[in-house]
Structure 1
């Protein structure tokens, strides 16, 4: 009897185990990679996506700059002045002075402007707020200009991320990529197929669920374009990725061992 002879069932078992490991490896990469269904091409053109015009909300901090020619009249509106703001006025082709102030939109949706008093800006876009302020200061200032921008863009990322927390992003607009990057991205133990956005914006509250493995995320403006104060929550797997895949491998491998053992037993019984 040739002791070096390898039983055919053993070869079949090894081959099956190899195929299973290869399949499991492919399955693992699909669980970890973003946008798995993108075409396999060097270049893929995404549809154009408009940047949403931000709405002023309670709790926003606004940078308001008044540019005027008459220095004395502008002084009444100054909360504080600085050289940088004067330079902005010069850049705009206006002599004299300018006042730049950080305004907090209060719980009533208002800011308080010197001389003018309280002005409700919540619910307006930046351009609409500029026009409203311009109309209110025009009786007091000659040929004024008003500049307005947002000082904050806060997003919160919670759950199975490397660095959960609230983040102030130094931009007027933000994207899903920026929010996830601020939180250190997702570890292997995160459910990329079960991510949710909790949104309370412009009087509307909603929850959006999405799958980061799908390329459709890139073309959905309600997901890809963040809104101020968005909360992203990432679900965690019940176990680590290794345990999950190893459990699958072990289960199938056990079935294969049982089948081969039964086959060998039956074969030996016939001899």
Structure 2
């Protein structure tokens, strides 16, 4: 009887470990074994600006003094894109411009400018064209200040991820939260996206190179990435991990009993 109990326990543990070992935890595991692989980058569409987006809009021109009017009290010297600004007034550029419910931002001098529904590049062109009346050869930079995605489930540190621009992939987002755990189902990663009042849900297989072709591979503002846990963890592996000390002691006792016989 004791032998049967020990054998049953051993079979259960081996089956649980076997279920875990059978999971493919290698990203893009179907890539050919070649030194160099070249493919055309496919991006279905760039994210568009939406209400409640917070934008950083900076202006540079050949006349630094005139830039004060368009940078909320900051002078942006020519050739200093992305560098530190010289404070000249009471404004605070870091606060950004909030897109209202109708898709407009209010810019100094220009007033209300509709950027909703445009990509960042399209918004840059529109604002630059309107600035031509006031500045010589203006350069406009538009960035998101609150572009974020939500990563949940079987990952190292589930959290809200804020990224500096709109160019982030699902793999990059997973890396920002500590990657998937060994129990995450890499072949079934769910991406949830809401656009124009429509909720879209897509399942991505990160074991396959075909994931690059998915319009959900590049994430949009407020996308939710959910990594489903492996069934082995839910059914048995989780129990073993929670009671590992007890299981080891039980196995040791079982082998001692077997030796006694």
TM-score by length of 2: 0.67
What do the CA deviations read for 1:38-83 (whole angstroms, capped 9, x no partner)?
Answer: 156244625321354332222333222222334554433331215x
Confirm or deny that 1:227 pairs with 2:220: yes
C-alpha contact (below 8 Å) 2:143/2:165 kept by paired residues: no
Distance change in 2, residues 1:39/1:28 (3 Å): farther
CA distance in 1, matches of 2:114, 2:33: 51
C-alpha contact (below 8 Å) 1:68/1:142 kept by paired residues: yes
Aligned-residue offset at 1:201: 3.8
Q: Which residue in the other structure is 2:59 paired with? A: 66
How do 1:29-178 and structure 2 match up within 5 A?
A: 29-35=21-27, 37-39=29-31, 41-43=33-35, 45=37, 47-51=39-43, 52-71=45-64, 73-82=66-75, 85-88=76-79, 101=93, 102-178=96-172
Q: CA RMSD in A?
A: 3.8
Q: Which residue in the other structure is 1:259 paired with? A: none
The SS at the match of 2:199 is strand
What do the CA deviations read for 1:134-188 (whole angstroms, capped 9, x no partner)?
Answer: 2323333344332323334311101222211101123441111111111222223
Looking at CA atoms only, which structure, 1 or 2, has the larger radius of gyration? 1
Distance change in 2, residues 1:133/1:153 (3 Å): same
The SS at the match of 2:39 is coil
What do the CA deviations read for 1:71-116 (whole angstroms, capped 9, x no partner)?
Answer: 554433331215xx2253699xxxxx9x994322233222110122
C-alpha contact (below 8 Å) 1:58/1:107 kept by paired residues: yes
Which consecutive residues of structure 2, in runs of 5 or more, have no partner in the other structure?
A: 1-9, 83-87, 241-261
CA distance in 2, matches of 1:186, 1:195: 10
C-alpha contact (below 8 Å) 1:73/1:141 kept by paired residues: yes
Distance change in 2, residues 1:71/1:87 (3 Å): closer
Distance change in 2, residues 1:238/1:37 (3 Å): closer
Q: Which residue in the other structure is 1:205 paired with? A: 199
Distance change in 2, residues 1:24/1:37 (3 Å): farther
TM-score by length of 1: 0.65
In the alignment of these two chains, the number of paired residues is: 221
CA distance in 1, matches of 2:156, 2:69: 49
